[in-house]
Structure 1
Amino acid sequence: MMVSSVAFAKPGDSGISTQATVSVPADSWESDDTSTTARTLPKTSYHTLDSWTDTDWMKFSVSATGTPFVFETQITEGNTYFDLYMYLYKLEADGSLTEVESSDDHSYWSAYSEFIQWEASSPGTYFLEVTGYGDGETGMYTLHWDKGFARRIAGADRYRTGVEISKLMYQMYHTYYDYGFYTSGVVITSGSSPADALAGGLLASSVDGPLLLSGPTGLSAETRAEISRILRPAVYYDNSPLTIYILGGTVAVPSAVETQLRAIPEVAASLKEENLEIVRLSGANRYETAAMVAEAVDSVAGITDTAYIVGGTAWADGVAVGAPSVYMGSPVLLTAQGSLSPEAAQAIDDLGITTAYVIGGEAVVSSDVEDDLVDMLGAANVDRLSGGSRYATAWAVAEHGVDIGLNADRMILVSGLNWPDALVAAPMVYQYGAGNGVYGPIMLTSPTSLSGEVKAFVEDHGQPDSLCYVVGGTSAVSDTVLNQFNALRASVPN
């Protein structure tokens, strides 16, 4: 493993950095420093650049013109200047290599990792090269690749899936501590109940932080380590104000979590400087908690005058609407099925909401709720986005998302039956301060077979031409579904 020496600076000094004091070891794929020693790699592989002259080469074959591929690196450790480049080459008949594509910095995240989404112009042998930029480029990274346009992101369980998403979005917190890559908060919600998390994606995005899950007895070691990692730059270099939000009461997120948080060195240091708050947003019920979350977002980043009204037990609809909510800065408010909850009605008044979208069919949000909203806002300012199933509702929400500016050529695919992995995906859509993200809809699928609504969406809008993510392990979204999803690109014309 790599051992780093971390030098922390006071605010206003030159910053902090991680400098390797023990050399990064060669990875198991060496020697792969040239095209002649390039390796055939599995879909996920772990690599190091163990010196500033080290490069890594991969070899693969293409059997048909138009075959799509996606390649993505994810930095997992590195020195202060760890910055990757990625190049794609075609082997010509005379043995020479022709560069066909390259990547310099990830376009989704504030990261010096890379991704290439590419269609083969002809069959043949191809090579992928990953190299560092300039002197001193030593570090570790993961390479993901597949035919198609999507790759899976998942942990061993629901808690570690949230951690893996955080690591993807905030890769540079391993390295560039003094270049402005920092968050202003973290949002923690229950991993056992989805109600409070439905509104939490927008809050996490508004503080440029992840949405992480707590277990019934507290935070996992992996979650605590991730909180430590992502807060480190803000605490030790920037000294910027931080807030850790806990959503729900102690039944949902136990009080032990607050004790665990205070024991994290970065949290303790910032609390000592009175530069961090731990704020629990907990109402008398899920409806009041959602309203409190909306108010917190308004105070942190501001909100639009539009709200999404979701049934308090309809987690699947809440997952789908997370994308337009996060993208537009429009809060998710929860309601009872039979009538508009008083807490949502009060929030609409307090927040100056003038437009409302009811999400889901009348089985989850009745026509009486819609009537209550019409009485408050007028018929012209109330609409319903729904379908005959949770998958069809997600399709309707995705179409709405495209109408307001989300990209139809990229998306996040989650299980329609497994809420924990799905709910933590919302911050991936957009990060407010950084202005980064996938910028695409969140769509639902059956765990074992790709939903027809996803296929229909692609047929309507054309094949994706950018990187998409499938969130969750194989029990949430099977490899069969991932393969079916990736195969859509070859079968649907642009």
Structure 2
Amino acid sequence: MPRHGDSITVSSGATVSADASMPTEAQWRSDLVTRVAGSDRYSTAIQISRRNHRTASTVVLCAGWAFPDALSAAPLAGSYDAPLLLTPRDALPAGLLAEIDRLGATKVIVVGGAAAVGAAPVAALQAHGLTVERISGGDRYATSCAVYAALKAREGSGLPAEPFLVNGDRFPDALSAASYAACERRPILLTKASFCPYSVRTLTRQYSLNTYYIIGGTAAVSDDVIQQLADASVSGQVYYARLAGTDRYDTSAALADAYGGHFDFVGIASGASFPDGLAGGALCGARSGPLLLTPRDGLTPREEALIADNADWLYQVQAFGGAGVVGARVLTDARAATGVAASGVGAQSTDGGERVAPLSAQGATILGLQGQRFERVTRRVR
């Protein structure tokens, strides 16, 4: 097996220097559908980072035992080109400091309050010589506003003016939006189903927000929430476009369709549990590809069709998590949709650091939300 920097003799007899450690396109295609998993949610997040990030100066760290604060963290990871890693509340997981060292990171941004990520993990990070910044609010809704403010301070006028608005009491819609939020640095604001929290309404006035992409149907984010945003807005009116499917799986596919373009990378995560999708969604944003939420025992027909439609552009499909959350049939379905033979495909990635996916293979790209119809809601007369 040639090593990095080795000379290779080609068929003509000439000897050239090449980076023999880099896989050819044929090798990438032969390993198109892969599973990236560790022994638990924390090691899976580490493996996602190892498999896909060569270096990073910053790491975003969220609670892995509860989803609320982490739902709004993906665009922050995108802004810093950072992996999103997970931790228990009271101690860092095994392997996390080693992964930070491998990346060469010097800063960790903790998203969430001390009830989510306690003082002990922060102290351990600081003792390791890392700079730690915590972004949090009084609850999950206020934390999403604090992340918005941090993104605005960092991105300035480059921050998309239309945040995502998702239900903060359940995770699927936020996970579906995470890859696009990370890719575009588009903030994710959280709301209750029928009541817009005070912190979000205050943010609306502070930053003169008046346009939103709502992810999920009216059971997730009701029309009452939109009216409350209009009542709180500086202009007295808001515009919104709703992106939703028939269920959580259909919504994730509907978002991919709404963005259009061709994808060269697709991530797959369980729609029934949140941890692997948290880290996977941020990674998909770095790869400019969608995160599809799937049932444990197979892709939906719409998801299979989406992968098949992009088969000529795809260089990798990564399924995040073990067989207990993303079953073997999911990989079989993805493999069939790509048209790649089963031989040698679908092996689990456990070392992650051996191969890092290229940033772009075919030049495919997310086009952005094109042609969405916006509805207008005006402030109620009192």
Q: Shorter chain as normaliser: what TM range?
A: 0.7 to 0.9
Residue of structure 2 equivalent to 1:230: 103
Q: Does 1:367 align with 2:240?
A: no
421 and 314 in structure 1: CA distance in 2 versus 1, 3 angstrom threshold: same
**Cα distance in 2 between the residues matched to 1:347 and 1:168:** 37
Alignment of 1:38-437 (within 5 A): 49=3, 52=6, 84-87=21-24, 116-117=28-29, 145-146=30-31, 149-171=32-54, 173=55, 183-231=56-104, 243-264=107-128, 266-267=129-130, 276=131, 278-302=132-156, 303-375=159-231, 376=233, 381-402=239-260, 407-430=262-285, 437=286
Gaps in structure 1 of 5+ consecutive residues = 1-31, 34-48, 56-80, 88-100, 103-114, 118-144, 174-182, 233-241, 268-275, 431-436
Using structure 2 for the length normalisation, give the TM-score: 0.78
Asked if structure 2 preserves the Cα contact closer than 8 Å seen for 1:408 and 1:464, the reply is: no
Q: Compute the displacement of 1:473 (Å).
A: 1.3
474 and 83 in structure 1: CA distance in 2 versus 1, 3 angstrom threshold: same
258 and 86 in structure 1: CA distance in 2 versus 1, 3 angstrom threshold: closer
Q: Tell me the percent identity.
A: 29
Q: What residue identity is the alignment partner of 1:284?
A: G
Q: What residue identity is the alignment partner of 2:283?
A: M
**Cα distance in 2 between the residues matched to 1:332 and 1:410:** 22
Asked if structure 1 preserves the Cα contact closer than 8 Å seen for 2:217 and 2:245, the reply is: yes
Give per-residue Cα distances to partners, 1:119-147, cap 9 Å, x unaligned: xxxxxxxxxxxxxxxxxxxxxxxxxx54x
Q: Compute the displacement of 1:490 (Å).
A: 2.8
**Cα distance in 1 between the residues matched to 2:102 and 2:264:** 32
Using structure 1 for the length normalisation, give the TM-score: 0.61
260 and 54 in structure 1: CA distance in 2 versus 1, 3 angstrom threshold: farther
SS at match of 2:265: coil
Gaps in structure 2 of 5+ consecutive residues = 10-17, 341-382
Give per-residue Cα distances to partners, 1:241-272, cap 9 Å, x unaligned: x54211112221111011110222x42xxxxx
Q: Does 1:465 align with 2:329?
A: no
Give per-residue Cα distances to partners, 1:68-110, cap 9 Å, x unaligned: xxxxxxxxxxxxx9772445xxxxxxxxxxxxx66xxxxxxxx
Give per-residue Cα distances to partners, 1:293-337, cap 9 Å, x unaligned: 111122223411010001111211000001221222210000011
Q: Compute the displacement of 1:409 (Å).
A: 4.9
- Which protein has the larger Cα radius of gyration, Structure 1 or Structure 2? 1
**Cα distance in 2 between the residues matched to 1:188 and 1:289:** 14
346 and 82 in structure 1: CA distance in 2 versus 1, 3 angstrom threshold: farther
Asked if structure 1 preserves the Cα contact closer than 8 Å seen for 2:58 and 2:108, the reply is: yes
**Cα distance in 2 between the residues matched to 1:339 and 1:284:** 17
373 and 150 in structure 1: CA distance in 2 versus 1, 3 angstrom threshold: farther
Task: Give the total of aligned pairs.
Answer: 327
Q: What residue identity is the alignment partner of 2:207?
A: L
Q: What residue identity is the alignment partner of 1:250?
A: A
Which has more strand, going by share of residues?
Answer: 1
